Amino acid sequence: MTQNKAVLSWLDEQIKLFNPDKVVWIDGSNEQRDALREEACSTGEIIKLNQEKLPGCYLHRTAKNDVARVENRTFICTETQEEAGNINNWCDPKEMHEKLNNLYKDCMVGRTMYVIPYSMCNVDSPFAKIGIELTDSIYVVLNMLIMTRVGKKVIDALGDSADFVKGLHARKDIDEENRYIVHFPQENLICSVNSGYGGNVLLGKKCFALRIASYLAHKEGWFAEHMLILGIEYPNGEIHYICAAFPSACGKTNLAMLIPPEIYAKQGYKVWCVGDDIAWLRVGPDGRLWAVNPENGFFGVAPGTNLKSNPNALHTTERETIFTNVVHNLENNTIWWEGLDKNPPTNAIDWLGNKWDCTDGSKGAHPNSRFTAMAVNCPCISKEFDNPAGVPIDAIVFGGRRAKTAPLVYQSFDWNHGVYVGSAMASETTAAAAGAVGVVRRDPMAMLPFVGYNMGDYWAHWIEMGKKIPNPPKIFNVNWFRTNNEGKFVWPGFGDNLRVLLWILGRVAGTVDAVESPIGFLPKAEDINIEGLENDGITLEVLKDLLSVDKDLWKEDADGVEEFYNKVGDHTPAELRSQLAAFRARLN
Ligand code: GTP
Ligand code: SPV
Ligand code: MN
């Protein structure tokens, strides 16, 4: 497939280490994909679903100890610990290489090793970066064919260059005790072993497009962020683009594909999805920040996705989709998950592979069950999705799951204050990562588990970039997750979040006023349109409450921020320390 010496000599080395029976290059053709699907069906690795109802769709179940990212087994192995910082797990690269080499030794005996050349972004884009993943999992190959651009055209684009990210993945024994997700940013290398779950093994995604890419972005003067990208089309045809960073399972896919509420739809408002998880951003020739989605598909949370919450996502999954850890409906060989509809199948297999009794209170789908679907099959995919230049960004929105504290929306005073707001983000943990769910933790820029270097340097990079963007986007914060005394979400969310996004764009355009508060600019309640929300319990009073700022809660929050800054240590930029001090002064 290639004469590239750097690629071939690296491959030779890995083949000696892994000792596979067979080596297969993935060329990106449908013929090869179809043959691999057949093979994976024959071994039970995937199950072919009803091809009339769900053409090209398959079901996969992971091991039950392997259902989410494992942050405590994820490492950044830079030369010095200081480069990785106090937030990342670090290990001396030599020591880690030795450990991994022992685990990898002969791990593919009796197996086939697949070589996946892939590009993050359209290969023709100046943003594009190439990776090669070696894996012994057909499931990984089939997912990578959806999530990235794969095959011959990538190898051609690489040519003789040695500039590619090396990825090693071996399923081995799916042994939790010896599971490692390791990044060597200075060697352009990612190593994954003993997992078969998405974010741990689809190495183009979090490992490359966030951890390695954020390291490169810091060196090269751009951003790699855990952000969706969407376009809002006004009735006059103008489209404005927004990036939003929310932690895992906090609503990026849903916001990126939102359906405008009736009152907006009938006026001609439309929303277009450019990306649902990752954005790479660069300063354009016009002095604005431009964003691309480096991915080619969506690895979305299944539970809660339904015709009302996210019809676009649901329609995207109607063809050429891999479902992971959802319910298998044996009645018609289709799938189901909690929150799809009110009719759980009675003849079904749960995500563990057992006969499922939907009346016994157990969950049929894992809370972090996912669909892998092609971006081009999304009904609201933006016509700019594949544009090598990306789209210009008007606003950056941060947000998380906060039962109290954060109001529905507010605007930062300026860029540096916006960086403070991002650095101060906190959110309740979700099922997207192994560990407790619902615990509030600091999650700066939704990047806590994804910054591939020192968190303090990452913040400093944000501050520095502010000086290099002549026309920077405005920075906002949102919270769709405030709860009432019964623990119910107050704001209806989903499509109705457009009402908040339109306030944000109004601020950018300078057409709407705001009220200054200690935390930033708040909307006047009258300026967020709540027409049609009577049945959702949203009155002007309730909205005012959603926009309220409780100074005592924010004082506590400031303490939490300081504690986190101290944990990050002396790389925390002075600008952020002074932002925090100024915030405290405003609260008093
Ligand atoms: P990752 O793929 O893990 O990065 O997650 P994500 O940020 O794309 O989250 P996603 O859109 O998949 O949403 C995760 C969960 O949040 C789902 O269960 C949704 O139903 C729920 N959710 C999304 N948007 C809203 C909202 O506006 N309000 C409420 N209450 N829930 C929401
Ligand atoms: C996330 O956890 O933020 C995801 C899913 O988008 S994973 O690919 O597993 O990281
Ligand atoms: Mn994500």
Q: What is the pLDDT of residues 210-269, one digit of tens each?
A: 999 999 999 999 999 999 999 999 999 999 999 999 999 999 999 999 999 999 999 999
CA 247 to ligand 3 centroid distance, Å: 7
Other CB atoms closer than 10 Å to residue 568's CB: what's the count? 22
CA 297 to ligand 2 centroid distance, Å: 13
Which residue among 60, 299, 305, 450 is best mutated to probe the pocket of ligand 2, counting the most ligand atoms within 8 A of its Cβ? 299
Token digits of residue 303: 């539970």
CA 436 to ligand 2 centroid distance, Å: 16
Beta strand spans in 448-548 (E): 474-478, 515-517, 520-522
Is the CB of 394 inside a 6 Å radius of any atom of ligand 1? no
- Report which protein residue has its CA nearest ligand 2's atom 3: 248
Residue 226 CA, closest ligand 2 atom number: 3
Is the CB of 298 inside a 6 Å radius of any atom of ligand 1? no
d(CA 573, CA 565): 9
pLDDT score for 397:
99
Residue 228 CA, closest ligand 1 atom number: 8
Give 582's DSSP letter. Answer: H
Is the CB of 450 inside a 6 Å radius of any atom of ligand 1? no
Q: Measuring CA to CA, how many Å separate 35 from each of 26, 40, 42, 152?
A: 12, 9, 11, 18
Residue 292 · residue 121 · CB < 8 Å:
yes
Residue 430 CA, closest ligand 1 atom number: 3
d(CA 467, CA 471): 10
Q: Looking at the DSSP assignment, which residues form a beta bridge with residue 399?
A: 478
Q: Looking at the DSSP assignment, which residues form a beta bridge with residue 58?
A: 48, 322
Is the CB of 117 inside a 6 Å radius of any atom of ligand 2? no
User: What is the spatial order of strands in the sheet that 370-374 belongs to?
Assistant: 47-48, 58-60, 322-324, 370-374, 297-301
Where does 348-454 have alpha helices with state H?
Answer: 415-423
Residue 254 CA, closest ligand 1 atom number: 11
Is the CB of 133 inside a 6 Å radius of any atom of ligand 2? no
Q: Which ligand is nearest to the CA of 258?
A: 1
Is the CB of 297 inside a 6 Å radius of any atom of ligand 1? no
CA 246 to ligand 3 centroid distance, Å: 8
Angle at alpha carbon of residue 398, lines to 397 and 401, rounded to 5°:
130
- Report which protein residue has its CA nearest ligand 2's atom 7: 199
- Report which protein residue has its CA nearest ligand 1's atom 18: 304
Q: Measuring CA to CA, how many Å separate 106 from each of 132, 135, 140, 164?
A: 20, 13, 20, 25
d(CA 513, CA 531): 19
3-state secondary structure of 483: strand
CA 435 to ligand 3 centroid distance, Å: 16
Which residue among 229, 253, 274, 305 is best mutated to probe the pocket of ligand 1, counting the most ligand atoms within 8 A of its Cβ? 253
Which residue has 């008093």 as its token pair? Answer: 588
Show which residues are catalytic. 250
CA 433 to ligand 2 centroid distance, Å: 8
Q: CB burial class (10 A; 0-12, 13-18, 19+) of residue 534?
A: exposed
Is the CB of 240 inside a 6 Å radius of any atom of ligand 1? no
Closest CA to 63 of 179, 149, 141, 142: 179
Residues of the chain with pLDDT under 50: none
Query: Max alpha carbon distance in the chain (Å)?
Result: 69
pTM of the model: 0.98
Q: Which ligand is nearest to the CA of 278?
A: 3
